[in-house]
Every structure is written in structure tokens, then in C-alpha cells.
Chain A
Amino acid sequence: MISFQNIVKAFGPHKVLDDVSLTVPKGQILFIIGTSGAGKSVLVKHLVGLIRPDAGRIYLDDVEVTSLSEMALYPVRKRCAMVFQHSTLFDSMTLLENVALPLRKHKGLSTKQAGVDAMRRLEQVGMAEESGQFPADIGDGLRKRVAIARALTLDPEYVIFDEPTTGLDPMAAESVDSLIRELSDRFQVTSIVVSHDLRSIFKVADRIAMLYQGKVLLDGSPADFRATTDPVVRQFIEGRPEGPMVFPRKS
């Protein structure tokens, strides 16, 4: 179970998260939605210690993440993987080396053994033939597939997807959606998905939380979101530019 408790985070005078609390039970897929700059990515990065909150606590099962040192965070990061918004493959490494890196560093496998395991992962996402290429040699969609392979290579219990379908063609987006669903259904993997993709949100989510002006505006099932009369939520899910929504300034 993941639990964010009263998280507050400000960058200079701009308060991005203001007393945000969320709990995600095991195996659930939670979509976090909101406008650009609403603090969605900032919130999920707290979970793996990439950002420290100004106030509040975060629990991953019984482990309080916020007080852990960088070294003590490594077991947490082994259990909780993250797929970044821009794939973030390492430019200087081949695709195989990218996927093998967590195996070498987290599991202590030899380069050869990690390479064998990494190749199996690349085969699963249909990227085995390109394993010797560098990230700059392939397109955005393929990079995202490799990034997902790298995130899943340690069989994590928790996965954070930061805008996983952004920039993908409809078929690739569909396969990512199916993968997120399958991870939950077959392996009880808990997923937090930051997304703007309304099609994915209503198709895959078990639960949705909308961040607005630093707070959780609505937390409920897809049905709750469809039925809500809140004008801000309605404006967002209907994609209307006109309405009561105040757009945040970028920090």
C-alpha cells in the first residue's frame, strides 16, 4: 500500500502541493490527473525520494520513505520503479546496457548475466533486434518501450508511470494501456499513472484523483468522475478551454 499523508511542497514562493493526502491499496491502478503544472509529477517523485517534501509523510507499506537517506532508499527503489515522461534512457549506453543497468546495480548481476536477462525483457517489448542501438538512433515510441522494459526488469511491486502514452501513436498507446492493466490483474502490481490521456484514464483506471491548485479536488472511481457536477472537473474531462478553471503559472 502507498500512502501520501499531508504532503506540502513549495518551490520558492510557489506552493505546488498543499496538504495532499492519498492512499493506494495493493494492486490498484490510480490515475493522477490535472492541468500542466498542477504538481502531479512532483507528487509521484516524492515516493521514490527524488524530491523531499517540506511537510508530510509517505509510506510504502510500513516503510516511511520521507526520512530515508539516499542509501536507505535503494531497497525502496528496487520495489518501486518509475517510467519517466521523456523515457530518460542513458544516451551513452546501448538499449541493452540501459535495461541491464538496474540488474547490475540492484541485483549485483555480472554484465553477462544482466545482458541475458535484459535481452529477455527487450524481447517482451519487441525491441530485441534493436538492442545494440543507442537511444538517439530510435524514435520516441520505441524509446518509451525500452524505458518500460527497464522499469519492469526488477519485477517491481509498484510502478509509477509519468505520462506513459504521451507522444505515442494510438497502437503503441493501446499496448501501454494493456500492459498497465495486465500488471495489475496478473501480478498485483500497484500502479500510479500520471496522465492527460482521457481515453486511457477511463479505460484503465481503477481510481482517479484530480489535483487542482495544490489540493486533491476529487478522488473517486471513473464512474464518480463521469457523474460529478463539479464545474472544474467537468471542464477538465470535457477538455473545454472556457470555464472556471484557473491555470497555474509554471514554477
Chain B
Amino acid sequence: MAALRLFRDTWRWTFRGSLRRQSGPFARQLYEVGNRSVVFITVTLGVLGMISVFQVLIQVERILPEFSVVGPAFIQTMVREFAPTIAGLMIATRVGSGIAAEIGSMVVTEQVDALRLCNADPIDYLVVPRFWACVIQTVLLSVYGGLVGVCAGAVVAHYAWEIPWGTFFSLNLVGYSDVTSGLWKAAAYGMAIPIAASQAGLETSGGSEGVGTATTRAVVNASFCVVVLDFIISGLSFMLLLGK
């Protein structure tokens, strides 16, 4: 319930022009969340793309040695599932822990209390810039991570199984609903991660041990949110597809 209230208040402060007032911190958070996650996302999704294609091709080779569908099916899965969810989980780990540790440290050193005394709401000052930076960068990193994963998979397919580039990169299985489903997931994760992490940070009590506990809770809660939202959005998009 506390997280839902925080989500509501974050939107409320956004409509009151928080981002315009906090343009400096917002730009810093865009850099923190986005630019500093690029290497992490590149390595994770690149390796995942290579391993996935490698494993799939081994199985396909045993059953039906016909590889033309592997590339398009892999791209569809990457767009719908792997790119947003793996990127989301990576961001939940790297960024979620950072948000909780930073806000948690501010709580235990009374900086959040000092903000309140300065007539500066902690949600306006701390949560809103992180929230919108996470939303934007999770979507961008998911798209980027998807491209990296597909390219890495294509390299394995081409050099290990001699699948032509054009056959692997065929988009004939990727539909509009796949793209929208992937983007919705990325946006939803981008909202859930900073809320779960900020809530854990704002509820910090005690000293450095409390900050450690808050950081762990942030990563667990944010990762859990990603998995649950993946299930819900996948289910909804599947039902919408059946409805058509």
C-alpha cells in the first residue's frame, strides 16, 4: 500500500511541475541510470543472445535440420520477452540497489528530515527525477539490449551454423503486438523499479545495517515486480491477441 501511495504521489508531483524544477537532478539521473548501465546491458544481453541461439540451434539440428525459422523466432522472443525482462532485471539489480542505498543513507543521516524542514518534499526532490529517468532509460536500454542480443545471436548462427545473415534477420514473425508488448513491459518495469527501490530507501531505519537491509529489499522487491509484471502483461497481450 505504501508503494502504491508513493506511485500516486510521484505522479502528483510530476503534474505539479517537479521535472521542470528538478531538471539538473533529472539529467544526472538519466546519466546514472542510462549511460552507466550500457556496458552491463551490452555484456548481459550479448552473452544471453549467443547462448540462447547456440542452445536452440543444437536442439533444432537434432530434430529437424532446418534453420530458417530460428532467426525470426529468436527475434520475436527477444522483442517480446528477453530484451525488456532481462534488461529490467539488470536495471533492478544495478539501479534499484543504488537508489535504495542513496535514499537510505540520506534517511539515516537525517538529510531527508532536513529536506522536509526546508519545505522540499522528498518525493519531489528525490523520487520524481529517479522515476522518470528510470522509465525513459529502461525503454531505451531494452531496445538497445534487444539489438545487441539479436546481433550477438546472429554472429553465432552465421559463423557456427553458416546461416545466412538475411535468413536470420528476417522480421516476418515480428508483429505489431510483439513490439507494443515489449515496450509496455519496459515502461512498466521502468516505473516499478524506482518505486520499489525508493520505498525501501525511505523506510530505512537504523544505521549502515539498515541501509544494507534496505538495499537488499529494494533488489528483491524490484526483481519480484519485474517478474510479476512480465506475467501480467504477457497474459494481457496474449488475451488481446486471442480477442482479435
Contacts and interface: CB of A to CB of B under 8 A. Distances in A.
Interface of A: 45, 48, 50, 70, 74, 77-78, 81-82, 84-86, 88-92, 101-102, 105-106, 150
B72 interface: no
A88 B114 contact: yes
B39 interface: no
B25 A92 contact: yes
Interface of B: 25, 28, 106, 109-111, 113-121
Interface of B: prevailing SS = helix
Contact of B114 (A70, A74, A84, A106): A84
B110 A101 contact: no
A43 to B, nearest CB: 15
B119 A78 contact: yes
A106 B110 contact: no
B119 A77 contact: yes
A85 B111 CA distance: 11
A90 B116 contact: no
Contacts of A74: 119
B122 to A, nearest CB: 10
Contact of A77 (B25, B106, B111, B117): B117
Given A88-B110, A88-B111, A91-B111, A77 B116 contact: yes
A84 B106 CA distance: 13
A102 B119 contact: yes
A88 B118 contact: no
Closest 5 pairs between A and B when the two form their complex, measured CB to CB: A105-B119, A88-B114, A102-B118, A88-B110, A106-B119
Nearest to A147: B114
A88 B116 CA distance: 12
Given A77-B119, A102-B117, 5 more contacts: A48-B117, A77-B117, A82-B117, A89-B111, A92-B25
Nearest to B119: A105
Among B109, B115, B119: residue with most chain A CB under 10 A: B119
Contacts of B121: 70
Contact of B109 (A48, A77, A86): A86
Contacts of A89: 111, 114
22 contacts: A48-B117, A50-B113, A50-B117, A74-B119, A77-B117, A77-B119, A78-B119, A81-B117, A84-B110, A85-B110, A88-B109, A88-B110, A88-B111, A88-B114, A89-B114, A90-B111, A90-B115, A91-B106, A91-B111, A101-B120, A102-B119, A150-B118
A182 to B, nearest CB: 22
Contacts of B116: 50, 70, 77
Contact of B110 (A70, A77, A86, A150): A86
Contacts of B28: 92
A85 B113 CA distance: 12
Contacts of B117: 48, 50, 77, 81-82, 102
A164 B117 CA distance: 17
B45 to A, nearest CB: 31
B201 to A, nearest CB: 14
Nearest to B24: A92
Contacts of A102: 117-119
Contacts of A91: 106, 111
B113 A45 contact: yes
Contacts of A150: 118
Nearest to B113: A50
A105 B109 contact: no
A82 B28 CA distance: 29
Nearest to B114: A88
A85 B108 CA distance: 12
Contacts of B106: 91
B22 to A, nearest CB: 11
A204 B110 CA distance: 26
A106 B118 contact: yes
A78 to B, nearest CB: 7
A89 B111 CA distance: 7
Contacts of A105: 118-120
B31 to A, nearest CB: 13
A74 B119 CA distance: 6
Contacts of B111: 88-91
